Amino acid sequence: MKLMRKAALLMAAVPAIVLITPVGSASAHGYVSSPASRSAQCARGDISVDLCGQAKYEPQSAEGVKGKKNCSGDNGAFAPLDNDSLPWKVTNTGQTLSLTWTFTARHATRDYEYFIGNTRVGYFSGNNQQPNNPTTHTINLGGFSGRQKLYAIWNISDTVNAFYSCIDLNISGGGGTTPPPTTTTTTTPPKPTTSTTTPPPAGGGTWAANTSYAVGQTVTYSGSTYRCRQAHTSLTGWEPPNVAALWEKI
């Protein structure tokens, strides 16, 4: 609905531009589809629509001016992509990682940049040409290890804008070559939890990692009781006090 309104506005306001540069006019762009970026996870329904915002419908439209280091491009409708506490799936990888962009409009491309924090770990020139769809890049993760957020940035050559994707990684060290990565959730052993002082409500239990929780289910953690807000499988790091999007303290 929003898309159509946007398109209608655009056509009414700037018909000349639409005629001259049809490729640049649609609100259709690109995102990292493999490994599943945060946008891709929203689009395929891994994350509840209520939590994802517009990324659910337009994973390819996290567009903002160049030079950002975030997941939304500071585009307000895509702000949930910047929320590290949502239950994003994490991709296990070695030091070598292949990433695939899916384009819904093949904008002429200045270049692609990949960052972990402020360190650029990948760069590919686009030669100001239209890219192939899809386009795959293989990067080296520069010795980073453990849980990292990779910023994938597609810089357009004929506008001030870029498109942003974030990929959550669990990187194993070494620097050797590794097989192509597969998208999997991390599996870690349950963390020991402290004993509770009050008995849990009916259906409750002590929170544990790698456990499926349904909406409304209650658990105890560190002596407090929490109610599940969104069905999910728990992971270490998603302890109820850490993830307000998943657990409501009661």
Where does this chain touch Cu ion (CB under 5 A) — which range of 40-48, 84-92, 102-110, 131-139?
Answer: 102-110
Binding mask 2-41 for Cu ion (x = CB under 5 A): ---------------------------x------------
Query: Is residue 108 a contact point for Cu ion (CB under 5 A)?
Result: no
d(CA 90, CA 170): 6
CB 208 → Cu ion: shortest distance, Å? 44
Contact residue for Cu ion among 3, 18, 77, 105 (CB under 5 A): 105
Nearest distance from C-beta of residue 107 to Cu ion, angstroms: 5
Burial 141-164 (b: 16+ CB within 10 A, else e): beebeeebbbbbbbbbeeeebbbb
Closest separation between CB of residue 47 and Cu ion, Å?
A: 23
Q: Which is nearer to Cu ion, 128 or 184 (CB)?
A: 128
Closest residue to Cu ion, judged by C-beta, is 29
- Of 104-112, 119-127, 139-147, 188-196, which segment contacts Cu ion by CB under 5 A? 104-112
Q: For residue 173, which amino acid is it?
A: G
Please name the residues in contact with 20: beta carbons below 8 A apart, sequence gap of 6 or more.
none
Closer Cβ to Cu ion, 105 or 208, answer by number: 105
243: amino acid identity, one letter: V
Least distance in angstroms from the C-beta of 58 to Cu ion:
10
Cβ proximity to Cu ion, 23 vs 215, nearer residue: 23
CB of 176 closer than 8 Å to CB of 143: no
- How is residue 159 written in tokens? 């506008």
Q: Which stretch binds Cu ion (CB under 5 A): 7-15, 41-49, 103-111, 228-236?
A: 103-111
Contact flags string 47-86 toward Cu ion, x per CB under 5 A: ----------------------------------------
Closer Cβ to Cu ion, 79 or 105, answer by number? 105
Task: Take residue 30 and report the two structure tokens written for it.
Answer: 């690109």
Residue closer to Cu ion by CB (options 10, 105) is 105
Please write down the long-range contacts of 142-150, taking CB distance under 8 Å and 24 or more positions apart.
142/95, 142/116, 143/95, 143/173, 143/175, 144/116, 144/119, 144/171, 145/171, 145/172, 145/173, 146/170, 146/171, 147/90, 147/237, 148/116, 149/71, 149/84, 149/116, 150/97, 150/114, 150/115, 150/116, 150/121
Helix or strand (DSSP H, E) at 233: strand 232-233
Residues forming contacts to Cu ion in the complex (CB under 5 A) are 29, 105
